[in-house]
Amino acid sequence: MERFIGTKVVLAVPMTRAEYNGYRGWQLPADENGADQGFLVEYQDGGKANVHGHAGYVSWSPKEQFELAYRARPIVPGLAPHQQRVVDEQRELDDKRAALEAFTTTPIYMKLSAIERAHLQVQYEAMTVYSHILGLRIAAF
């Protein structure tokens, strides 16, 4: 098998499995737990609308799988879509930069070769510069 990493922008709202089934007008199957936490997910680029009142394809995702796949990225009112993407990119970059910084305090990091640690430091510095550039673009909006 090949490995894939996906990127999708979705709209979502927390909803139990039972609430989702009720929203869709379905009976909860006897073998399913209606109290399961999850999300109603609307894929705006994932196919034609399948639920009245929604522009995109709607489905339900269990909470654990949803939270592994998606990170909240609040919409900034008044921004054009291309500007919102810059804001989202900076937030994602800053999350990755913070994770890299946290990694540098771990025992695994300490066991890396000096060259590997130096490469990670250069990577962190490049991420910092790029975040600053994105911040300048956002300030110009």
Spatial contact of 97 and 124, defined as CB atoms under 8 Å apart: yes
Q: Is residue 92 part of a domain?
A: yes
Q: Is residue 76 part of a domain?
A: no
Alpha carbon distance 49, 56 (integer Å): 4
Query: pLDDT tens digit string along 99-137?
Result: 999 999 999 999 999 999 999 999 999 999 999 999 999
Q: So what's the pLDDT on residue 9?
A: 85
Q: So what's the pLDDT on residue 38?
A: 98
Q: Are residues 60 and 86 in the same domain?
A: no
Q: Are residues 25 and 50 in the same domain?
A: yes
Q: Are residues 46 and 88 in the same domain?
A: no
Query: b or e along 64-90 (b: 16 or more beta carbons within 10 Å of the residue's beta carbon)?
Result: eebeeeeeeeeeeeeeeeeebebbbbb
Domain span at residue 63? 10-69
Q: Is residue 121 part of a domain?
A: yes
Q: Is residue 53 part of a domain?
A: yes
What is the token pair recorded at 11?
């709209």
Q: Are residues 36 and 57 in the same domain?
A: yes
Q: So what's the pLDDT on residue 115?
A: 98
Q: Is residue 14 part of a domain?
A: yes
Q: Is residue 56 part of a domain?
A: yes
pTM higher than 0.75, yes or no?
Answer: no
Q: Are residues 86 and 65 in the same domain?
A: no
Query: pLDDT tens digit string along 79-92?
Result: 998 999 999 999 99
Number of domains in the chain: 2
Q: Is residue 28 part of a domain?
A: yes
Q: Are residues 64 and 17 in the same domain?
A: yes
Tell whether the torsion through CA atoms of 79, 83, 84 and 87 is positive or negative: negative
One DSSP character per residue, 19-41 reads HHHHHHT-PPPTTS-TT--EEEE
| Interval 67-90 mean pLDDT | 93
Kindly list the strands in the beta sheet with 38-43, ordered across the sheet, starting from the edge strand earlier in the chain.
Answer: 10-14, 38-43, 57-62
Backbone angles phi, psi at 53, to 5 degrees: 90, 0
Q: Which amino acid appears at position 67 of this protein?
A: E
Tell me the pLDDT band of 15, cut-offs 50, 70 and 90.
very high
Q: Is residue 75 part of a domain?
A: no
Q: So what's the pLDDT on residue 86?
A: 97
| End-of-domain residue from the set 69, 92, 117 | 69
Q: Are residues 28 and 51 in the same domain?
A: yes
Q: Across all residues in the chain, what is the average pLDDT?
A: 95
